Amino acid sequence: MVDRKNFLRNWIMKIGENSVGKSLLFGTYDPLIPDELKREVQKQKRKRVPKRKRVKQMPKINVIAAAILLWCGSALAADVKVIREIYTEVPAQYIYEIPVEKLAVYFLKSLNDVDKKLRVGNDNDKVTLYYDGKMVKSLYKPKDANDIEAWVELSAEIMDTASKKSPTAAQQDFELADLLMAGAIKHFDKDSKFYLNPEDNQGKRLKHQRNFAERKVDDNIYIKILAFNAYTKSGVEEAVKKYPEAKGLILDLRGSPGGMLSEGVAVADLFLDDAIIASTKGRKEAEEVYFNAEDGDILNGRPIVVLIDGDTASAAEVLAAALQEQDRAKVIGTNSLGKGSIQTLVSLSDGATIALTSAYFYTPSGSRLHGHGVLPDVCTFEMPEAKNIKNLLALPRNQFCPRESRADEGLDLDAAREMLATELNLGV
């Protein structure tokens, strides 16, 4: 029988050794158990005694065999170790930290992929399991949202209950946890979160320090700007030159809190030709400043899609708004944060300090960013109603798109890839 204790660890350790291993876990096709392990599992299943006969034969089998059967049949006891491995090892493969709560919820929601009668609800303070529309288990979430052990215990209990209610889930035995992991990681952005070079762990640290990550996605360049610092413009320019054959660009600004305004303006200047990028307006005439792009577009007009979410702020919003309003890019995601003010620190006589807003950022059309943010051309908040990406892209622009944190949502990236693949509304 397959050594369950080391099963997941050994599998994950192989990830990055080759492109097949990477795709197994990270997403070009369903990350199921490797063929040799599947064959071994099926072999052991065929050897098992039918349930009715098993009861009669129990007195005849030795203690070790009985222990093995008991171990395989108890999801609560058996899955704890595997779930702990998943909640620990999977987030380690990402550039950004994945909250254990988010991973656990997606993990449990994947029970619906195993049996459509199973459904997991995620309320503010509870995780609830439903079977055939009826509630069968409701558990309070851990007080500490980052408590891995507490989430492991909760997940194991939900899985144990699901296996008792659903014959389909029960048949999966120890494969159930791995199937749920496969369903969970589909929700996380495989192209921006994993090691750019899986064989070189230093690559992760380097890219994180540079505050951006780049790679090739389909026939396009994918650039994730984590924050804007002194190296952002040069890094983006270098990444674009690295792929001269690329047909388009996906610029991922989700989760970016901004940073240096000058770098946000400079990145916009790379793709705009003699156009207004942004402006600042305040109470005084001296506070009215215009930022203009110089001649030259390093992409030579190739299409751009920008990803934003509710955590996209400041310089990142300036960049997204400039490319959108100058008809240089389409924007996908949810409404950005709306942080576009210039504040000056004023010291008072009693030693206190106040932050005085002296000016605001404005988009090329003259709209104020602060308090409003950037409204995307395609609102991915409507994905559940749209059912699929093509339907989503066909929806008219919604004048209301709520702010939502979607920095690790692979669905947004899939929408961007589909838009570039079809060159939808890009006029190229």
> Which comes out higher in pLDDT, residue 185 or 366?
366
pLDDT per position as a tens digit, 45-81? 444 444 444 444 444 334 443 443 344 444 455 578 8
Is pLDDT above 80 for 359? yes
Sheet holding 330-333, edge to edge: 212-217, 220-225, 248-252, 304-308, 330-333, 378-379
Looking at residue 302, what DSSP letter applies? -
> Which comes out higher in pLDDT, residue 202 or 221?
221
Looking at residue 194, what DSSP letter applies? B
Q: Which amino acid is at 144?
A: D
The reported pLDDT for the residue numbered 191 is 56
The reported pLDDT for the residue numbered 52 is 41
Q: Whose structure tokens read 């984590």?
A: 226
User: How is residue 342 written in tokens?
Assistant: 């210039």
The reported pLDDT for the residue numbered 154 is 95
Residue boundaries of the structural domains of the chain? 4-187, 191-422
Q: Which residues, 6+ apart, have CB-to-CB distance to 275 below 8 Å?
A: 292, 293, 322, 326, 364
What percentage of the chain has pLDDT greater than the value 90? 43
Other residues' Cβ atoms within 10 Å of the Cβ of residue 136: 16
Q: Whose structure tokens read 């599947």?
A: 38
Q: Which of these, 157, 155, 204, lies nearest to 180 by C-alpha position?
A: 155
Q: Distance from CA of residue 331 to its chain's centroid?
A: 17
d(CA 29, CA 9): 20
The reported pLDDT for the residue numbered 190 is 62
To the nearest 10 degrees (0 to 180), the angle between helices 75-89 and 100-109 is: 130
d(CA 222, CA 239): 9
Is pLDDT above 80 for 28? no
Q: Which residues, 6+ apart, have CB-to-CB distance to 21 below 8 Å?
A: 14, 15
Q: Which has the minimum average pLDDT: 119-123, 169-173, 193-197?
A: 193-197
Q: Which has the minimum average pLDDT: 175-179, 274-278, 349-353, 416-420?
A: 349-353
pLDDT per position as a tens digit, 383-408? 766 778 888 888 888 888 999 888 77
**Coil, helix or strand for 163?**
helix
The reported pLDDT for the residue numbered 42 is 52
Looking at residue 410, what DSSP letter applies? H
Q: What's the CATH class of domain 191-422?
A: alpha beta
d(CA 277, CA 270): 11
pLDDT per position as a tens digit, 276-328? 999 988 877 766 899 999 888 999 999 999 999 999 999 999 999 999 999 99
**Coil, helix or strand for 72?**
helix
pLDDT per position as a tens digit, 153-179? 999 999 999 999 999 999 887 789 889
Mean pLDDT, residues 168-196: 77
What percentage of the chain has pLDDT greater than the value 70? 72
Q: What angle do CA 118, 407, 364 make, to 5 degrees?
A: 135
Q: Whose structure tokens read 């690559």?
A: 203
Mean pLDDT, residues 341-360: 78
